[in-house]
């Protein structure tokens, strides 16, 4: 099956709960259908199997970024793919100084779930 693509550039939202150390990414105007839970990640899908949200628990530890620095982030992009039973997410935090931009990749296997292949590019 051909990969379905969703261009959500400019439609992203980002927030950080510093007290609980949780990052939230979300695409505006997409309706939640279900979640896939992994150890430190929760991936939200819409009814067309597009990844429309991401929650990262223990974000400062997982990303190796200080909580104060996470709190100051305001631009990001993520490219998320569901492909051949894997969830592949590349996060890029865009800082004022491009040399300090930060990237993080996550790859997780989808177990006991049938999810169609898809790809999403989201920015804020």
Which tens digits make up the pLDDT trace of 101-122?
A: 788 999 999 886 688 899 999 9
pLDDT at residue number 101: 76
**Segment 74-98 mean pLDDT:** 87
Which range of residues forms the domain containing residue 47?
4-123
**Segment 54-83 mean pLDDT:** 90
In the three-class reduction of DSSP (H, G, I as helix; E, B as strand; rest coil), residue 99 is classed as helix
Integer CA distances (angstroms), 72 to 18, 51, 75, 79, 117, in order: 11, 25, 10, 21, 34
- 71 has pLDDT over 80: yes
Tokens linked to 25 = 């990414």
pLDDT at residue number 107: 94
For the chain, the average pLDDT equals 90
Total domain count, the chain:
1
Q: What's the alpha-carbon Rg for the chain, to the nearest Å? A: 14
**Spatial distance between the Cα atoms of 51 and 29, rounded to a whole number of angstroms:** 13
pLDDT at residue number 112: 64
- 96 has pLDDT over 80: no
- 1 has pLDDT over 70: no
The reported pTM is: 0.89
């Amino acid at each position: 099956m051909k990969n379905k693509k969703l261009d959500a550039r400019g439609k992203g939202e980002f927030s950080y709960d510093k007290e609980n150390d949780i990052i939230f990414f979300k695409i505006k105007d997409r309706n939640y259908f279900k979640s896939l839970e992994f150890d430190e990640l929760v991936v939200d899908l819409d009814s067309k199997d597009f990844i429309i949200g991401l929650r990262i628990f223990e974000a400062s530890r997982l990303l190796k970024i200080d909580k104060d620095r996470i709190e100051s982030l305001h631009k990001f992009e993520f490219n998320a793919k569901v492909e051949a039973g894997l969830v592949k997410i590349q996060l890029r935090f865009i800082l004022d100084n491009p040399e300090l931009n930060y990237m993080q990749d996550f790859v997780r296997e989808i177990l006991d779930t049938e999810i169609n292949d898809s790809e999403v590019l989201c920015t804020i």
